[in-house]
Structure 1
Amino acid sequence: MRDKQLECVYLRWLFLAQFFMLIITDAAKVPAVVVFGDSSVDAGNNNQISTILKSNFRPYGRDFYGGKPTGRFSNGRIPPDFISEAFGLRPFVPAYLDPMYNISDFAEGVCFASAGTGYDNSTSDVLNVLPVWKEVEYYKDYQNKLIANVGEQKAKFIISEALYLISMGTNDFLENYYTLPNTQSQYSVDEYQVFLIGLAENFIKEIYGLGARKMSLTGLPPMGCLPLERTTNFLNGYGEGCNDEYNTVALHFNQKLSGLVQKLNKVLPGIRVVLSDPYNIFMQIVLKPSSFGFDVAEVACCSSGTFEMGYMCDQLNPLTCTDATKYVFWDSFHPTEKTNKIITDYVLKNSLQQFFT
């Protein structure tokens, strides 16, 4: 009888092992994850450039592997890390400018993102970060190194079959349009959205021309609910709630991105681009944090949680929370690792699932 039970247990585990191997094998059809964008996906490129917008110090990264502050704007991992792992690749995507890694590391995943950037080149000028055209230049350099490292045929396969994650736009509004009078004098908010959509289209066509085919274009979050914007809303006398105007802009911009995705899939042969829209799931988390296992959504874990990020969020501040899993936001602008995981799981299920086949 005992032998029969052991045999059943063995067969069950054998089935599960085979099942998971099939998932991994299927997922491996994406040989690499390539990342462009801003701080929502920057794995540490800003560490290597002259800007005040950095996070390569604790308490950033305190829940990352080894408690290491890598330059990710979170207490732990960010969405590209979870996406890479879900596709059977490494559980993190390294920054291209990180001297700890080389082209052999980047063959299955590489991040060109720069915190503080946007589709608009003038957005990157605000905090002296990498403009998106520079991210593309690094991508071209990466391609040349990849060919030299793995050969032209394999490099071509990696480039064409990789999943490209594109995540930016928030800074274009919060650090540019709503901050710089010159931008507002040039455009109405709707005109600026149309301008950005044109830039997004040009960017996608450019990397398409360089061989990219599988792409995820990330929409804007409810940016009016970021703790920093709540604080500004309060200081302006509007109350302690979210900035509804900013959230409305995010919704409208995401609708325009959706239209762009439909257009590109029709006009660019062989492209597969999807819109990964985090707005609704993010808003659900903010409005009903307890439903997702959070205690606090209005303020962030780091420091007072109302306006600090970057150098204002350092390990010497005694106000920083001890358990980031209770908070939706890590600093006044960026989610905690737990929030990133929930949003990424949603995106994987609702947008990226087609890339598993």
Structure 2
Amino acid sequence: MASSSFILFLLLFFTSITAICSWNAATPRPRFPAILIFGDSLADTGNNNFLITPIQANHDPYGHSFPAHLPNGRFTDGKILSDFLASDLGIKDTVPPFLDPELPKDELLTGVCFASSGAGFDNLTSVKTMATPIIKQIDYFQDYIEQLKSFVGGGVAHDVVSNSLAVVVGGSNDFSFNFFRDFTRKVQYDISGYQDFVLQHLQDFLKELYNLGSRNMMITGLPPLGCLPLLVTTNLIGFGRKCVESLNTDSQTYNQKLIALLPQIQASLPGTKIVYGDLYTPWLDMVDNPQKYGFVETNKGCCGSGVMEVTYFCNKLSKVCSDSTQYFYFDSVHPTEVAYRTLADYIWKDALQKWA
């Protein structure tokens, strides 16, 4: 296996998000020197390309709406949540400047995506998917900080980290591809107990972020997991493809617990500002009201049959819809670029403005 420093280089060089801020005075924006992203495939800009894992999107038809029209590791046709949140903050996606010794140090405004598709807060989730566990992403973040210190000094590195926005997008895989589909955790926990188990791991993760200097954090909740085409298929009862309400209820309960927990975590970590990012509300609204957003299909994905295909089952042999902008889902799990744009818009108005 590659050393952590080599993996870090790949993470930084190929999937970084660099903060070159151009603030619009007419539209107040929170001023972060960087955005640091942790989590799973809703945020992964291509890190799994460098892992030995079946959870990869480095092949057709993924990426066909991206500027280069090539697969790049993002689980959609184009851009994902990370891209839009970064651009909304005035952050440009480029090679990180701290790898370039010619860049003036006073222009060092950096950020990076550490997310790994298939990752979870529960390490068992990542064992199954061979992804980088969310807690392990802390190790790469620590390596990043050490490299930053060696380049610009401890003071500047501290300022960059403490004033940056850390975005944590996770939990979906813990339920979708672990608890809901495997007996291992079900033997140990009921759904409520497992929700608490995952939230405890999230709390531990946020404390680790805090210990490394992070002070501004946005934590997203779960989407309506019962509306994922793959889970609709595996839980299909009777005729018709409808969201599985019991799974959506589980998602809502987790989110309610998370919303109640975050102020407690903030109170225990002096100097932090921790905000909840709501994925559930805009996601479900798009599924339930497709005409409002210009969609014609929200029950199936654009790739293949749209009811089962994801990762390597969505491939160059799969039939692809002619216009992905009319679909909410690209494969049987992940939204299309246009859906991600709406999700990011909602999060911007609902959560990020709290820093403005």
Q: Secondary structure at the match of 1:200?
A: helix
Q: Secondary structure at the match of 1:22?
A: coil
Report 1:115-134 matches (<5 A). 115-134=117-136
Report 1:71-220 matches (<5 A). 71-90=73-92, 92=93, 103-104=98-99, 107-220=109-222
Q: Which amino acid aligns with 2:339?
A: T
Residue 331 of structure 1, CA deviation: 0.5
Residue 153 of structure 1, CA deviation: 2.0
- In the alignment, is residue 341 of structure 1 matched against residue 341 of structure 2? yes
Aligned residue in 2 for 1:326:
326
How many Å separate the matches in 1 of 2:184 and 2:43?
Answer: 28
How many Å separate the matches in 2 of 1:220 and 1:208?
Answer: 23
Q: Which amino acid aligns with 1:347?
A: I
> In structure 2, do the counterparts of structure 1 residues 23 and 108 end up closer, same or farther at CA, with 3 Å as the change threshold?
farther
> In structure 2, do the counterparts of structure 1 residues 65 and 148 end up closer, same or farther at CA, with 3 Å as the change threshold?
farther
Residue 117 of structure 1, CA deviation: 1.0
Residue 57 of structure 1, CA deviation: 1.4
- In the alignment, is residue 304 of structure 1 matched against residue 302 of structure 2? no
Q: Which amino acid aligns with 2:348?
A: L
Aligned residue in 2 for 1:225:
227
Normalised to the residue count of structure 1, the TM-score between the two structures is 0.88
Q: Which amino acid aligns with 2:257?
A: K
Larger relative helix fraction = 1
Residue 174 of structure 1, CA deviation: 1.2
> In structure 2, do the counterparts of structure 1 residues 145 and 232 end up closer, same or farther at CA, with 3 Å as the change threshold?
same
* Structure 2 residues without counterparts, runs of 5 or longer: 1-21, 101-107
Normalised to the residue count of structure 2, the TM-score between the two structures is 0.88
Residue 104 of structure 1, CA deviation: 3.6
How many Å separate the matches in 1 of 2:174 and 2:240?
Answer: 24
> In structure 2, do the counterparts of structure 1 residues 271 and 147 end up closer, same or farther at CA, with 3 Å as the change threshold?
same
CA contact (8 A) 2:29 2:353 kept: no
CA deviations 1:28-87 (Å, max 9, x no partner) are: 720111011011101111110110110011211111121131101111111111111111
Report 1:259-270 matches (<5 A). 259-270=260-271
- Bigger drift between 101-110 and 143-152 goes to 101-110
CA contact (8 A) 2:75 2:334 kept: yes
Aligned residue in 1 for 2:242:
241
CA deviations 1:184-203 (Å, max 9, x no partner) are: 01001000011111111111
Residue 146 of structure 1, CA deviation: 1.1
Residue 264 of structure 1, CA deviation: 1.6
Q: Secondary structure at the match of 2:218?
A: strand
Residue 160 of structure 1, CA deviation: 0.5
- In the alignment, is residue 314 of structure 1 matched against residue 315 of structure 2? yes
How many Å separate the matches in 2 of 1:226 and 1:327?
Answer: 13
CA contact (8 A) 1:103 1:142 kept: no
How many Å separate the matches in 2 of 1:302 and 1:137?
Answer: 35
Aligned residue in 1 for 2:54:
52
CA contact (8 A) 2:30 2:352 kept: no
* Structure 1 residues without counterparts, runs of 5 or longer: 1-18, 95-99
CA contact (8 A) 2:229 2:301 kept: yes
Aligned length: 328
Q: Secondary structure at the match of 1:157?
A: helix
Bigger Rg over Cα: 1
Q: Secondary structure at the match of 2:300?
A: coil
How many Å separate the matches in 2 of 1:346 and 1:168?
Answer: 18
Residue 109 of structure 1, CA deviation: 2.0
Q: Secondary structure at the match of 1:75?
A: coil
